[in-house]
Amino acid sequence: MALWVLHVDLDQFIAAVEVLRHPELRGRPVVVGGDGDPAKRGVVSTASYEARAYGVHSGLPLRTAVRRCPDAVFLPVDREAYEAASTQVMATLRGFDAVVEVLGWDEAFLAVDGDDPEAVAHEIRDRVYEATGLECTVGIGQNKLQAKLATGFGKPAGVFRLTRQTWPEVLGDRPTDALWGIGAKTAKRLRGLGIVTVGDLAAADPGALAEDVGPTIGPWLVRLARGEDHSPVSDAPYVPRSLGRETTFQRDLREWQDVRREVARLARRVAGDVTADGRHVTRVIVKVRYAPFFTRTHGRALEAPATDAARIEEAALAALDGFTDRRPVRLLGVRALFTR
């Protein structure tokens, strides 16, 4: 029997949970974000497919979302409801004879033995729906990378298989940022080297690319483009690698002393979360979103892993010193990175 990796991704998860709670919203554009008031500052956490048709997507300012889709229903974020739904889904997945690796609220990998992974995928979809009322898409691959990308081709609520044999045909002509792990900046850098498509990257010389983008990243990018991934599916408990807090201000902060005060406050809140989580912090990242809407980040490593609030606050303020732009600030965030 062959070993397959299945990637289960819940469709429009947060919006779908809200529709289950409010059945009258089915078929309507639903946007979840902030406290649900688009007149206030905040960003979209998720949008239903009906809202996405109007160009509403995660990370979009709520005020922009309401302009694009004035008929949308706006709802506040309810973490407890989403965590409860996620727990129910993951419990359903663990009922299969498979190793289950949870990636977050709405997705997981399963390692499955058998000659008919599609049958398993369809059973997963059916059981999840029966248990929760939520729909999911299942991607099938010979490794985690292939399964993850296959899910995108199966959405919504479908099943799609991607293997080393079909990889070139399916992905060869697509831009490099279609790959899991390549973002806009890396894709731009690759275009500067004449590498435009996944096929171009797969055909690249790893040694030559190592000279251009680094001895580790260069060969890894080529392996990525060839659909190669040797990371195992692990059922070790999901442990977040970081923990953070952020605040969107209804009025811009114009005085830098106010910015420093708010960063210190956020850092202390993060320190409280860290203490409750029992983890040690190695690095602190500060995010600043300026008005009207562009974001910068700076980080500061701690000399030694720590949990106490004073050292986390000190690192956050040191990271803040890396910002030289003093224009009005609309959002601040502090994130602590943990030891592994």
Residue that is written with structure tokens 């974020």 in the block:
77
Percent with pLDDT over 70 in the chain: 99
pLDDT at 1 over 70: no
Identify the three-state secondary structure at position 127: helix
Mean residue pLDDT of the chain comes to: 94
Enter the tokens of residue 223: 């392996």
The pair of three-digit structure tokens given for residue 242, joined into one six-digit string: 């970081």
Position of tokens 């500067």?
A: 192
Q: Lowest-pLDDT range, 104-108, 187-191, 275-279, 313-317?
A: 275-279
Q: How far apart are the C-alpha atoms of 241 and 338, rounded to whole Å?
A: 6
**In the 8-state DSSP scheme, what is residue 106?**
S
Q: What is the largest CA-CA distance in the chain?
A: 65
Q: Is the pLDDT of residue 194 over 80?
A: yes
Return all residues near 145 (Cβ < 8 A) that are at least 6 apart.
180, 224, 227, 228, 229
Q: What mean pLDDT do residues 21-25 have?
A: 95
Give the C-alpha separation, 165 to 140, whole Å: 13
pLDDT of residue 265: 96
Same fold, 21-78 and 242-338: no
Instruction: Check: CB of residue 204 under 8 Å from CB of residue 222.
Output: yes
Q: For the ranges 103-107, 144-148, 164-168, which has the lowest average pLDDT?
A: 103-107
- Please give the positions annotated as active site: 107
Mean of pLDDT values over 101-126: 95
Residue 42: which pLDDT band, with cuts at 50, 70 and 90? confident
Q: What are phi and psi of 89, to 5 degrees?
A: -65, -50
Q: What is the CATH number of domain 242-338?
A: 3.30.1490.100
Alpha-carbon distance of 208 to 159, in angstroms, equals 37
What is the domain partition of the chain in residue ranges?
A: 3-13+80-162, 21-78, 167-225, 242-338
CATH class of the domain at 3-13+80-162: alpha beta
Distance of CA 231 to the CA centre of its chain: 19
Residue 161: beta bridge partners? 140
State the pLDDT at residue 237: 79
Q: What CATH code is assigned to 167-225?
A: 1.10.150.20
**339: pLDDT confidence band, cut at 50, 70 and 90?**
confident
Please identify, in words, the CATH class of the domain defined by 21-78. alpha beta
Quick: pLDDT tens for 253-265. 999 999 999 999 9
Q: In this predicted structure, what is the pLDDT of residue 293?
A: 80
pLDDT tens digits, residue range 141-151?
999 999 999 99
> Residue 340: what pLDDT?
61
Using the predicted structure, report yes or no on whether residue 21 has a pLDDT greater than 90. yes
